[in-house]
Chains A and B, each alone.
Chain A
Amino acid sequence: MNATAHTQPHEDPTHHHIASFRSLFVILVILLIMTALTVYTAKFVDLGEMGNLILAMFIACFKAILVCAIFMHLLHDKFLNTVALAVCLVLVVTFIGFTMIDMASRGALDPTREHFIAPPSMSEANINAAIEKRDAEHAAEGGHAADDDHGADAEHTEDDGHAADDGH
């Protein structure tokens, strides 16, 4: 990758790194292949609801790193620019991460409507129907969200504890 770049550094009086054609082109090809891979895995391989989402985001992060490092020259740039980006990403992770912690612990505050906050257009009857349907599905799966009150209460007290732990 650096072989071509090193043959011509002195044409550049500012001594900036000049990316070689080959490195840029290889990155483009990798990016296109990764895109095809995302499409293929998401549309034709079933990894479950979360599995596909996580894989797609994993590939997208990999592509983003390539674009930042090579196309946006962060690899050969002043480190300060990387720091600016890194600080921003910490903020984004805090923002989305803490929102998700909040979402996941909603049931601790409102046991009757765990994970269910209805759009304003939805009527009370529809909300109750949706909650019943969800609880029935959980019961059918033999999932942890048993719909008898004792089970639910015990679990939510436990959730409370977890949520408090997450917060610290």
Chain B
Amino acid sequence: MTTASPTSSKPLYHETYKHQEHWRNNEDEFEGAKLGVWLFLTTEILLFSGMFCGYAILRFFYLDDFTAASSHYLNWKIGALNTGVLLISSFTVAMSVRASQLNKQGQLMINLLISAICGVIFLVVKLGWEYGPKIEKGELPGAMFAYGGHAGEYIPSTSDPVFLSIYWVATAIHGFHVLIGVVLLLWLAWRAGKKHFGPKHYTAVENVGLYWHLVDLVWIFLFPLLYLV
């Protein structure tokens, strides 16, 4: 680490960033870190594939009941809204990578903050409009399901608690990933405020971006499976 001379124009962190000692150069470090994140993402895909596999099995068991449960318990408009929110945040995350590559610090900050806000909107919609009313009405997974709480002529089928189980498990684990993503995006924004990222060094922006896109990818599959078909 070179100590910057105490002049008024102290070089910025991203301009003088030096790789860790065990890497040949910054580029190797960047690519190595990125491959590491990709490997982590593959484990994430395998984690969620367990839920998709469970969904496939249960759907195989309860063909019509699942469709009926889906349209009774879930409002596709809320799901579609959240899909749009996540897609827009994916776009702004991609834009923030671009902004750091071009050294546009203001754009970087704005895009990171928009992405984090989109993540918060997703969680607020999820918790406030879905989880909250569901908990009140007893539309809970498995044994916690309350058969009595249904107004109107809808008669819950025995497979409804099963559908709600897969719904709660999949969306809650996905929501937890969104929450972690929001924290990471705010961390990036805080570091961007200290001018840590620029064309020569934006490893963290790139890698958090990859993670955020994966969260979006999982939702791309969860949304139609749970809310639509």
- Closest Cβ–Cβ distance, residue B35 to chain A (whole Å): 6
CB contact under 8 A between A96 and B228, given known A11-B199, A14-B30, A32-B84: no
Q: By DSSP majority rule, is chain A's interface helix, strand, loop, or mixed?
A: helix
Within the complex, which residue of B49, B64, B95 is in contact with A21, where a contact is CB–CB below 8 Å? B95
Within the complex, which residue of A12, A52, A67 is in contact with B213, where a contact is CB–CB below 8 Å? A67
Chain B residue numbers with a CB within 8 Å of A85 are 38, 41-42, 45
In the bound complex, do residue A119 and residue B220 qualify as a contact, i.e. CB atoms below 8 Å apart?
Answer: no
Q: By DSSP majority rule, is chain B's interface helix, strand, loop, or mixed?
A: helix
In the complex, A164→B60 CA distance in Å? Answer: 21
Within the complex, which residue of B27, B60, B64, B217 is in contact with A100, where a contact is CB–CB below 8 Å? B60
Interface range, A side: 35 or more
- Closest Cβ–Cβ distance, residue A68 to chain B (whole Å): 7
B205-225 CB mask vs A (1 if < 8 Å, else 0) is 000011001001100110111
In the bound complex, do residue A56 and residue B61 qualify as a contact, i.e. CB atoms below 8 Å apart?
Answer: no
Using a CB–CB cutoff of 8 Å, the interface residues on chain A facing chain B are: 8, 11-14, 16, 18-19, 21, 24-25, 27-28, 31-32, 35-36, 38-39, 42-43, 49, 52-53, 56-57, 59-60, 63-64, 67-68, 70-73, 77-78, 80-81, 84-85, 87-89, 91-92, 95-96, 99-100, 103, 115-117, 119, 121-122, 126
Q: Which residue of B lies closest to A36 (CB)?
A: B80
In the bound complex, do residue A13 and residue B199 qualify as a contact, i.e. CB atoms below 8 Å apart?
Answer: yes
Q: Does B98 contact A (CB under 8 A)?
A: yes
In the complex, A22→B49 CA distance in Å? Answer: 33
In the complex, A50→B200 CA distance in Å? Answer: 50
- Closest Cβ–Cβ distance, residue A40 to chain B (whole Å): 10
Binds A, one of B51-59, B125-133, B166-174: B51-59
Q: Which of B26, B209, B213 is packed against the most chain A CB atoms within 10 Å? A: B213
Within the complex, which residue of B84, B93, B224 is in contact with A60, where a contact is CB–CB below 8 Å? B224
Of the A-B pairs whose beta carbons lie under 8 Å apart in the complex, a sample of 15, sorted by A's number, is: A25-B91, A28-B88, A31-B90, A35-B84, A39-B80, A60-B224, A64-B220, A68-B213, A68-B217, A71-B91, A71-B209, A72-B210, A78-B31, A87-B42, A96-B56
- Closest Cβ–Cβ distance, residue B86 to chain A (whole Å): 10
Interface range, B side: 35 or more
The 7 A-B residue pairs with the shortest CB-CB distance in the complex, in nearest-first order? A88-B42, A42-B228, A56-B224, A28-B91, A92-B49, A53-B229, A71-B94
Q: Which residue of A lies closest to B214 (CB)?
A: A72
Contact residues, B18-63 vs A (CB, 8 A): 26-27, 30-31, 34-35, 38-39, 41-42, 45-46, 49, 52-53, 56-57, 60-61, 63
In the complex, A126→B213 CA distance in Å? Answer: 45
- Closest Cβ–Cβ distance, residue B50 to chain A (whole Å): 8
Within the complex, which residue of A8, A24, A91, A117 is in contact with B91, where a contact is CB–CB below 8 Å? A24
B66-100 CB mask vs A (1 if < 8 Å, else 0) is 01000000001000100110011011011101100
Within the complex, which residue of B49, B80, B84, B213 is in contact with A71, where a contact is CB–CB below 8 Å? B213
